[in-house]
Structure 1
Amino acid sequence: MDSRGQVSLEYLLLILVVILVLGGVTIPLIGSSIEASTDVSRASDAKVAVQTLADAANIVYSNGPGAKRTVSFYLPVDGVLLFENNRVIFTVTYSNGTKSNITAQTLCNFTPEPTRQINKGWYRAVVYWPINSTNVRVANITRI
């Protein structure tokens, strides 16, 4: 009877050691995979926002001088928003500290605007093509 109790206790201790080893290995792997998937999700959301602004600029350009379009978009992280030549650029910083530029091409050139530091959140912007101008402008970027 004593040997059965000892065998049960040994099995319980062995199972506890196996669980501790597996937990010590898998928990860091799960944490890094969660960070990686969060980074992918943020980059994807930033790409949608940049593409929304580029699409609005293309529609305004297609409609000609005097056209205007108001769009709403979501930026998932703090970053820098830039309109340069015929590109919309948003800089994303990932969880490991690296930075990446998310870009979208447009059919038109933008009037040079100062670089804007944008915080995470929903925004509304007015994209328009002023009469007697050769470039499209993005103005009134406001948080909603």
Structure 2
Amino acid sequence: MDDRGQVSFEYLMLILVSILIIGSVTIPLVGKAIDASNDVSRASDAKIAVETIANAVDIVYANGPGAKRTVSFYIPQSGTIGFDDAKKVIYFDVILSDSTQKRIEAATQYDEITISPTSLSKGWHTATIQWKDKNINIEVSIS
């Protein structure tokens, strides 16, 4: 092999090794960044959903018995929605990419809220929030 062929082969090997090193470092970083971005997106969608319901509950509470409100919201993944009467928050549990659970909460002004059903599937839902006459609970019915 002559000198020019030897130099060309060495440059090709150098470029190949450089690409392998860069690829082995950047691909895992990109994967982690995508997972983190998806986690933020799911948590943000869940936050918007529980805040939408909490705001509607507050409006029904402000209007008093007999009031009714209907809202639509998006649930980013299947999960459990509920109400913690001790903290007066509506919550939704989101499972993150590392299999940990994050509870997304939105505060309300009223502490007697019933939510049904509590298991929700991914997708768009409609919630009817009503405070029936002579009833202490504000009812949140999700379909």
Q: In the alignment, what sits opposite 1:33?
A: 33
Q: How many positions carry a matched residue from both structures?
A: 141
Moved over 4 A (4+): none
1:21 correspondence with 2:21: yes
Alignment deviations for residues 83-129 of structure 1 (CA, whole Å, 9 cap, x no partner) = 23221110011111100110101011233446712111100010011
Structure 1 unaligned regions, length at least 5: none
Which has the higher mean CA deviation after the structures are superposed, 89-98 or 110-119?
110-119
Structure 2 unaligned regions, length at least 5: none
Q: In the alignment, what sits opposite 1:137?
A: 139
Counterpart Cα distance in 1 of 2:105 and 2:74 = 15
Counterpart of 2:108 (choices 103, 106, 110) is 106
Identity of aligned residues (%): 52
Structure-2-length-normalised TM-score: 0.92
Counterpart Cα distance in 1 of 2:117 and 2:74 = 18
Q: In the alignment, what sits opposite 1:116?
A: 118
- State the one-letter code of the partner of 2:135: S
Secondary structure of residue in 2 paired with 1:109: coil
Q: In the alignment, what sits opposite 1:3?
A: 3
Counterpart Cα distance in 1 of 2:9 and 2:62 = 77
Q: In the alignment, what sits opposite 1:49?
A: 49
Q: In the alignment, what sits opposite 2:65?
A: 65
